[in-house]
A = this chain, B = another copy of it.
Amino acid sequence: MIRVGVIGYGYWGPNLVRNFSELRDAQVTAVADRRPERLAQVQRRYPGVRVMTEAADLIADPAVDAVVVATPVALHFELANAALHAGKHVLVEKPMASNSDEASRLIDEAERRRLVLMVDHTFIYTGAVQKIRELVGTGELGDLYYYDSVRINLGLFQHDVDVLWDLAVHDLSIMDFVLPQQPVAVSATGLAHVPGKPKNIAYMTMFFDGPMIAHVHASWLAPVKVRRTLLGGSRRMIVFDDLETSEKIKVYDSGISVDPSPENVYQMLVGYRTGDMWAPKLAVSEALAVEAAHFVDCVTNNARPQSDGEAGLRVVRLLEAASASMQNHGRPVDIQGVTAG
């Protein structure tokens, strides 16, 4: 039985507590939050859970085996680091840390102490993204041509991070999970409509070695909610619409075929294929339930999580590069640590 402590009971914390509570092999023993009214709510719903205002008390609690950090990003490193030092396994919200240096230090600390360090890349535990990874992995799509995502809505303007760190982080974690390659450079643009606040609309292009490109459009200022990803391959293409209730993934048997040696140079070199469309049945489990079970399983068996610290670091490196590029109106920035394949 893994005893879990959760720091932060704001927007996402309740979902974490609920999902860990429903696991057979785990129990939530403590919740910390600075706001007494949030703790009162915990007590009404979960009379058996101990509550505290100081995260340090939770981290020091011997009745806690694993710590979940669900605070604003700026506190991720400090709290996760303290928890690791106290010998606790850690599940930290995305993005993993405020910068890649912090992320690296957490990885090192976890490795040194042989503790599980996992990042809450929730989407990779959905049936939809698992299916996309499977389709990419088995070669169903052929060579990958592009990844394009739109993640916009009229949403909360965050105070501490910009819209890429808030929304595009989902896309970057999905890409990290399903694509066989890492981006080698980034060009990003964006704007803050409220002076002095983080950018609330942003566009981010990622370049790869080879004929592949990726792009994310993220915004807190759209009148409609869109969650749509296109993944194009030489054999098939996927449309992943997360707002669809029953057909989130559609696979199109469409594409182009290039004739490498046309007799007549004036001929069209590119041919089109359109064919059937297919929407595979997806697993319908709640992603966070799958993820919580996976974390508990990794802790129990000392295994490496699918969304480990390295995955978290790779995502943070992309966000860092995007921020740097945005400051320069799209000037491309190379990704550190990625070597051309």
Contacts and interface: CB of A to CB of B under 8 A. Distances in A.
Contacts of A201: 145-146, 213
Interface in A204-254: 205, 207, 211-213, 215, 217, 219, 221-225, 230, 232, 237-239, 243, 245-247, 250, 252-254
Contacts of A247: 277
A255 to B, nearest CB: 8
Interface in A40-81: 47
Contacts of A237: 222-223
Contacts of A205: 189, 203, 330
B213 A221 contact: no
A156 B269 CA distance: 10
Contact of A47 (B47, B243, B275, B330): B47
B330 A270 contact: no
A114 interface: no
A254 B213 contact: no
A146 B191 contact: yes
B278 A279 contact: yes
Query: What are the 9 closest A-B residue pairs judged by CB atoms, nearest first?
Result: A187-B330, A223-B252, A223-B237, A189-B205, A277-B279, A329-B332, A330-B330, A157-B270, A191-B213
Interface of A: 47, 145-146, 148, 150, 152, 154, 156-157, 159, 185, 187, 189-195, 197, 201, 203, 205, 207, 211-213, 215, 217, 219, 221-225, 230, 232, 237-239, 243, 245-247, 250, 252-256, 258, 268-270, 272, 274-281, 325, 328-332
